[in-house]
Structure 1
């Protein structure tokens, strides 16, 4: 092989390695360009939690709903524009996703400290970790380096995001479609250890379940009575109930013991334990008995979810305003 060919072959290998490294998220991505990124995000969230304890659960939900549609690219944050149909208006998000103001506050703080550096997609990943750890849950090294999309996918948001009304087979298929397995499904469902849900997301279980004229038989009877008081048959569909009736603002493993007591609020929650022969049952029981095992699995599953199809390298952009495309 001539020296020229050798050099050319070496260049090809180097370019390949460079391209691969640019596509890899890593925990030290901002160590030089914005070294205080994590503490800035955490500080804004701490303030937000003082005014509304729900903000932590709302922020992790934004990251979840972002990653399941075209990957973790910040597309859920885009408002409607001439060329964009916002994911905020999709059925799983409309009148329910929240925390956008907190994201804007984080972005403003980061732009003041290190302008044009931190993506909105990475803000969602960092905010999810801070929200969990501030509520008593695990912390993990958030992998970073995502860039922001210049488009949204409202149709994809309508079809790809797991629904509280779906059975375990349907939800498992949606997790599988983005490369997440059964352990990821159970662990990430454990995020329902804090936060609230509107009556409309579970009232179908309280009175006329599957057209039977009776409540969902898997619901604990005293829990059912409490929920019927919170959500009377002709009451407001937007009244809130705690996803975890025991420790509603703390990130712990009580979600799983609630399932064992037939106190899963959403159909999609209780299905993890009440689906006969399901692979999820043993995982629920393990997480209920062992909070450390849950925390370890949850942290790993959040990293797995954060790795869904990120834009890296020269793809996408770093939005200066998370609500709109640069120059839009």
Structure 2
């Protein structure tokens, strides 16, 4: 009995003295007394960087999604290995941009330059705030970000498993369901394709090699298909790309869903959201009501931000976002 009491006391002491970040739930006010100017500092840097390059906004948002979807929202996507065996160098992450990465690095430097914040804010939380800010700066909803993440310590190329541009609805739903994200969440998060680009290799098969019987994907609007063939001929330049939203590629709006209705979804995994009757109604709803889309997007990206939160055993606050301490 005495031995059991010792064990229980030891467990109680461990619980009492463990770091608050290991036990606390994510909270919008996590840094209120730690780094009260955090969101203002990050916002100012992201606004400046977004003004310098149109690539920054979609680059930051894609970086956040790719991070959360692989090892959880822990900024592991930003760890760079000397051997290049890291997430950044995975073929599935080749669409990520240096501009998005560097914007987060700049925000981290700015945060750490505040004496009250120095070495107290994770790269993962800075990335979460920056993702919200690029959405808002480009006309999307301004939402509350939950904070209190730690940075991960592991990043491997083989760990990267992301939705592919030729996925059908069942494959998309199955992948998102692993993270307790519903079909509606998936359709709403896909709306992030309202800005950004895709390289020709991601949709080339829809133009020239769709199936054994049909050369061009019949769900593509003929005029849009002709336009894409001009931008991406059969012998295309590997760096050639097309805007995901051909109408308003620099704005965060519901134009992505309108494009799907018109057969102008760039990726196969985009257009299937409209051609499959199970998700078509959601696309129609978001296309007709931008406020409803915004509400669904905020719900979905908030749920996304809760994936894989690290504790003090497998996480830390990195001094440099690109390497472990």
TM-score (norm 2): 0.91
Does 1:110 find its partner at 2:106?
A: no
CA gap 1:211/1:102 in 2 versus in 1, 3 angstroms? farther
The CA distance in 1 between the partners of 2:237 and 2:96, in whole Å, is 14
Displaced runs of 4+ in structure 1, greater than 6 A?
Answer: 16-21
- 1:30-179 map, 5 Å: 30-81=31-82, 85-94=85-94, 96-98=96-98, 99-113=100-114, 114-157=117-160, 160-179=161-180
> What's the CA shift for 1:318?
0.3
The CA distance in 1 between the partners of 2:95 and 2:251, in whole Å, is 24
Report what 1:224 is aligned to: 225
- 1:268-307 map, 5 Å: 268-275=269-276, 278-307=277-306
> What's the CA shift for 1:46?
1.3
- 1:248-267 map, 5 Å: 248-267=249-268
Q: Secondary structure at the match of 2:91?
A: coil
The CA distance in 2 between the partners of 1:94 and 1:209, in whole Å, is 23
Residue pair 1:70, 1:153 contacting (<8 A) in 2 also = no
- State the superposition RMSD in angstroms: 2.5
The CA distance in 2 between the partners of 1:215 and 1:314, in whole Å, is 51
Report what 1:182 is aligned to: 183
Count of aligned pairs:
317
Structure 1: segments with no counterpart, 5+ residues: none
The CA distance in 1 between the partners of 2:96 and 2:124, in whole Å, is 20
TM-score (norm 1): 0.90
Larger deviation, residues 171-180 vs 292-301: 171-180
Structure 2: segments with no counterpart, 5+ residues: none
The CA distance in 2 between the partners of 1:318 and 1:145, in whole Å, is 10
Q: Secondary structure at the match of 1:69?
A: helix
The CA distance in 2 between the partners of 1:297 and 1:81, in whole Å, is 40
> What's the CA shift for 1:190?
0.2
Residue pair 1:200, 1:238 contacting (<8 A) in 2 also = no
> What's the CA shift for 1:170?
1.2
Which deviations, in whole Å up to 9, do the C-alpha atoms of 1:89-129 show, x marking residues without a partner?
Answer: 11211354441111111111111112101111111111110
Which deviations, in whole Å up to 9, do the C-alpha atoms of 1:202-239 show, x marking residues without a partner?
Answer: 11111121344511100001111111111111121321
